[in-house]
Structures are given as C-alpha cells and as structure tokens.
Structure 1
Amino acid sequence: MSGMHGMDLGTFGIYTFDFEHQPAALVRESVQELEELGWPAVWVPELLGREALTHAGFLLASTRRLRVVNGVARIWSRGARWTYGAAALLADAYPDRHVLGLGFGGEPRPGTTPLVAMAAYLDEMDTLEPVGPVPQGPMRRILAAYGPKMLELARDRAAGAQTYHVNVAHTEQARRVLGAEPFLAVEHPVLFESDPAKARAVAREHLRPYLSTPYNLAKFRRLGYAEEELSGGGGDRLVDDFVFWGDLDTIAGKLHGHLDAGADHVTVQVIGVRPGESAMPYWRRLAGALLPASASAAPSRRASSTAEGMSAIG
C-alpha cells in the first residue's frame, strides 16, 4: 500500500471509541469478531483514559491477523522515549500489524504550537535505538494532520497522514499536499438513519464539540463553510458533509467518495449507538457492503444475532 512499505491496511477499517469504556472481556470478544468478519484494521483513539500503546498491545494480543492503528497516541501524554520503546516492542512482537499514529494532545504545553511540538517529538524519536533486539518488522508511524504544514510534516517525516472529521473536498486537497506516495487515511462518521430530521439531530449532537472550539471552527471556515452554517448546531450542508447518514447503500457510496478523492484507506466511525449498546450489528452490515466478498463471507461466532442491538438509533 502507498507509503506503508508492504503493509496492507485494506481499503476500509473500523474507528471506534467504544473500546475505551468497555470491559476487557467484551473488547476482546468484539475485536475477535471484527477479525472473523474480515475487517483488516481497527483504529482506536486515546481520549477517555486508556493508554494508547497498552491498548494497542491488548488488541493485538487478542487477535491473530488484525492490524491495529493508534488513531492517535497523544504526544503530550508520554515522552518520546517511552513512545518509541513501546512501538519498538509492538513491532517486534506483532510484525506488520501495528501502526503508531501520533497527534498533538495531552497536557497543554504553553508557548509552542502543534507543528513545532510534533517536529521536536519526531526529532527526539529519531535519535533513539531499540533497547532490546531490532524489531522483526519496521515501526510504522503516521501523523494526525489537517493543515498543509502538518500534512507536509507527515509526508516528510512519517509514512503519511490520518485526517479526522473532514469532507471529501479536504481529502482531495490533502492528497495534493502529500503527493502520490504517502499513505492517506480518512476517518468518517456514519449513521444508520434515513429520516433527515432524525439523522441531522443525532449528527448535530455528535458534531457539537467540534463546532465550539476555535481550531475546528477555523478548519470549517477554510473548507468554505459560511458563518451561518457554523451556528445553530451546523447547517444542513455541513452536517451532511461530515456525517454520512442513510441506508447501507447510501452510506457505502458516500464513503467511496473519499477513495475517489485520493484516500488510500477510510476508517469508519459508527455513531448513534445508545450508551451500553454495541455497534457490532452495524459493523457486520458494513462488512458485507465494504469488504471484499472473500473477506466478509466467513460466518462470525455471533452471526445469528445480527439483529442484536439494532434498537440503537436508526
């Protein structure tokens, strides 16, 4: 795959916050079923308290083939030396199955910018060598990036970039900045709801935190959204661009738009699932629509319970 030097994450993957608050036994069961369904990769953030590298290690240990991507490990949550050491161990223990996604975040560091902080972090990582044996597989890293300068850093200092909550137009822009070779992964939320009023209400609730921070508001403005589209929970055009809602065929068709615009991989975040319920029924349906037939044909251990949890919104 482009920029990944022989590691294939597939065309579509799963992005989920769910594993940050579920018990380990349920996480293990879920990730094993994702593997059985044929999903090639799962992406996990670092936000609610589970440490990024131990989280990745647990998911890798729970499966045999699944690739695990930190989307993202926050650079201000741990020093570069410890990130490097953990990534080296995972590369040695699970060759070609782990990608270290890095993004700025953690405890604030006044007096610096994300770009300067990330460059310094990479500088320190690049001076280090493994304490133990050289890993069996390469340590692959990507950067969370949106603006052209961070995308350029991802192009020059990593295997590529991951974008989060962007529209298809941004994917085209990001590919132009990165060039042909670097890897580009795009996260996109989806909602299984065909009623426009209901869908947009759920989508606005999901987008609410992103419409209340200066950084994200600046992002939306640069993408051409007018001020009136950024108020009142977001205008219909913005909501529809940033959350793909509808039936399975509609959602799948819109996700392919990112591939047409230059993405190598789209990682899909299902929203609208009520607290305490699982997105697994939707992940099963998406597997049938997005994965190669050979990958998604194997019966899962819980295939008979496809309807389980479908009382979630949509």
Structure 2
Amino acid sequence: MTQNWGMTIPFSDRSLAASKELIAELPALGYTDAWSAEVNGADGFTPLAMAGEWAPGLRLGSAIVPVFTRGPGLLAMSAATLADLAPDRFVLGIGSSSPAVVGRWNAVEFARPYQRTRDTLRFLRKALAGEKVSERYETFEVKGFKLERAPRVAPKIVLAALRPRMLHLAASEADGAITNWLSPDDVRKVRAELGGETELIARLFVCVTEDADRVRELGRWMLAAYLTVPAYAAFHDWLGRGEVLRPMHEAWAAGDRQAALKSIPDEVVDALIVHGDAATCRARIGEYVANGLDTPVLAPIPAGEVSIDQAVRALAPKS
C-alpha cells in the first residue's frame, strides 16, 4: 500500500477559519491526507469540505463521526455531499463514540454500540450505492430511503475499531480500521487481528519538544480523560496494560483525579504520546509504520517553544 501521511484538522490551537493557510500548505509539505474529528469542537464534515477547496488533492477522512448522533439517512446525505465534492478522495470513518458524547452531550441512548455500528455500515453501503433501502436492522429500521443524488463514486467506509470483534468487522465488511492511543508495539497486535490487506489508520498525538516533564504532565491529563472511557479501558486491558493502569482506574472511580493522574507511569505516557525533537518524533512515527500502520494521522499538541505551525512543517514527509 502507498504510504499515507495524514494531519488532523482543524488545528487544536485555532478555529477552522484560522486554519485555512496551514491546511492549504499541507500538500506542498508532502501530506497526503487530512482527517477531521468530532467530539465537542468542529463537526466532522465541515472541515473536510473546506479542506477540499483549500488543499485540492488531499484525501479527506472523518475519524470519526458517531453512528448514534445522526440518523442513518442524514449520515448518508452528509457522506454523499462530501463524496460529490471530492470524488474518490473522501473516506467516511464511523464509530460508536462514547457514552459521554452520545448520551450526556447529545441526549441519545448509547446502547449496543457494536451492533449499531455494524447496522449503520450495512445501511450506508446500500444507500451510498444509490439503492432504495427498506430494511429492518437489529438496532433500527429504515423504510424507503433513497438518496436524491447518489455520489458518482461511493466513498470508502472505515470503522473505529479497538478490539478483535470490531477489527474483524472492519476487515470483513469495511474498507479499513481506525484506532487511537496505541504504541508502535501495539500496532503489531492490532494488525494481527485486522489482517494484512485492510488499511489501518491511527491518530498519533505528537508533541515536538524536548521538555519530557512538560509532555508527561500534559499527557497524563489527556490519557486519564480517554483511558477511563470504558471502550478504551477495555482496549488497554486487551493490549496488556490492565494492571499498570489499575491504580488510575481505582482513583478515578473514587473521584480522586489528582491521585489518578499521579498513578500513570512515565513509561505509559512515553509509549502512547510521540515526543522529542522533530527528528526523534519522525523516527518514532516511522516505528508505527514499520510495524504495520498504513496511515499515521498526526495530531500536534501545542507545548513549549514549538508552535503548531512549526510542528506541522517539521513533521512533514518533505522535511
């Protein structure tokens, strides 16, 4: 597979509007992909639509949009719009997201995430191919939906997948898998479940600074926020970090946030966040690729003296 090199947009230190110039620079720097996210900032589709205008030629991907927060038909319409704007360059990344995003923030019941993701994938395959869909799935029913204008080229669909069951679904029915918060060594285990032919995409958090103490302080906050989510807790238990992260989970459950942060070992932060000078970071990203990652999607973390602009340029393939 041709090596991809992705960037997360918009950038974490600025708005989408203020990201225009740096996004436009990405192709000249050697980046092949721009991937959005959808949590509580920008939505997953608008940044990609703008990047399609500002940086023609980039592959555009969502990593990810939740399957619960949009109805199946609306999700198909949004995907069809992007596929029309960027024919053969848009990749729809979908996933279950988390109880906080789905339930607490969007007032939707977070139930049976594997089944809902599978059913949404199967619906989207038909809808984006231009078929009229009338079908009762395990988690929802659609009656007579047909896109008014199906895309000329149906987008590839990739799944957020952390453990074997979802990885196997991604390999058998989707076009790829997206993962997150893993080390280069972890890539081998994920790849073994996914198989060798399916694209593996991962967002890598990168901090270009030699101030390791600062990275570890910031990294503990980020890790605690993510790894206490049930899906990520189970993911890292499967990866073999269950015991080393047990004190964090126990302190977090008891409401002692400071103790939870202090209990995360340096080696866990160092394994899951890429940091160091630019050359060290690029070499570390290369380890992910060597172990089976097809598409690293970099997410620069602002810290210390290196700005996001400097980091994006220093981490680029043409640096």
CA change 1:146–1:38 in 2 (3 A) is same
- TM-score norm. by structure 2 comes to 0.79
Q: Aligned pair 1:82/2:74, yes or no? A: yes
Structure 2 letter corresponding to 1:149: R
Q: Is contact 1:199-1:245 (8 Å) kept?
A: yes
- Aligned counterpart for 2:24 among listed residues 28, 32, 41: 32
Q: Distance in 2 between matches of 1:20 and 1:53?
A: 19
> 1:187 aligns to what?
203
Partner residue in 1 for 2:56? 64
Is the partner of 1:269 in helix, strand or coil? strand
The separation in 1 between residues aligned to 2:295 and 2:161, in whole angstroms, is 15
Partner of 2:47: 55
One-letter identity of the residue aligned with 1:15: T
Cα displacement string for residues 20-53 of structure 1 (whole angstroms, at most 9, x for unaligned residues): 96052x1222211223322111111011243322
Alignment of 1:140-179 (within 5 A): 140-179=156-195
Q: Aligned-pair distance for 1:242?
A: 0.3
Q: Does 1:200 align with 2:216?
A: yes
Unaligned segments of structure 2, at least 5 residues = 131-145, 249-259
TM-aligned CA distance change 1:162 to 1:223, over 3 Å: same
**Equivalent position of 1:284 in the other structure:** 313
Give the deviation of 1:131 after TM superposition: 3.0
Deviations 1:156-189 (A, max 9, x none): 2210101111122321122112212111112111
Listed one character per residue, the Cα deviations across residues 69-121 of structure 1 (whole Å, up to 9, x for unaligned) are 11111111211112112222322231122111111135335473221110121
TM-score by length of 1: 0.81
Structure 2 vs 1, CA of residues 75 and 189 (structure 1 numbering), >3 Å: closer, same or farther?
same
Aligned with residue 15 of structure 1, among 8, 18, 41: 8
Q: Tell me which moved more, 98-107 or 206-215.
A: 206-215
Q: In 2 relative to 1, CA 262–28 (structure 1 residues): closer, same or farther, beyond 3 Å?
A: same
Question: Aligned partners of 1:151 and 1:93: how far apart in 2?
Answer: 29
Describe the SS at the equivalent of 1:52: coil
Can you give the 5+ residue segments of structure 1 that lack an aligned partner in the other structure? 2-7, 297-314
2:154 maps to 138
Q: Which residue of 1 aligns with 2:116?
A: 117
Distance 2:9 2:82 in 1: 21
Instruction: Quickly say closer, same or farther: Cα 1:229–1:89, change in 2 above 3 A.
Output: closer
For 1:247, give the aligned amino acid.
D
Q: How does 1:245-256 map to 2 (within 5 A)?
A: 245-256=275-286
Task: Give the number of aligned pairs.
Answer: 280
Letter in 2 for 1:178: L
TM superposition shift of 1:135: 2.6
Question: Cα distance, 1:148 vs. partner?
Answer: 0.4
1:107 and 2:102 aligned:
yes
- Amino acid in the other structure paired with 2:118: A
Matched letter for residue 295 of structure 2: H
CA distance in 2, matches of 1:272, 1:111: 32
- In the TM superposition, residue 16 of structure 1 has moved relative to its aligned partner by 4.2
Structure 1: how far apart are the matches of 2:36 and 2:110?
29
Aligned to 1:265: 295
CA distance in 1, matches of 2:117, 2:158: 12
Kindly provide the CA deviation profile for residues 267-286 of structure 1, in whole angstroms up to 9, marking residues without a partner as x.
11111348xx9611110111
Change (3 A) 1:132 1:140: same
Cα pair 2:72 2:123 within 8 Å, conserved: yes
Bigger shift: residues 224-233 or 50-59:
224-233
Paired residue secondary structure (2:45): helix
Q: Give the Cα separation in 1 of the matches to 2:12 and 2:207.
A: 19
SS in 1 for 2:57: coil
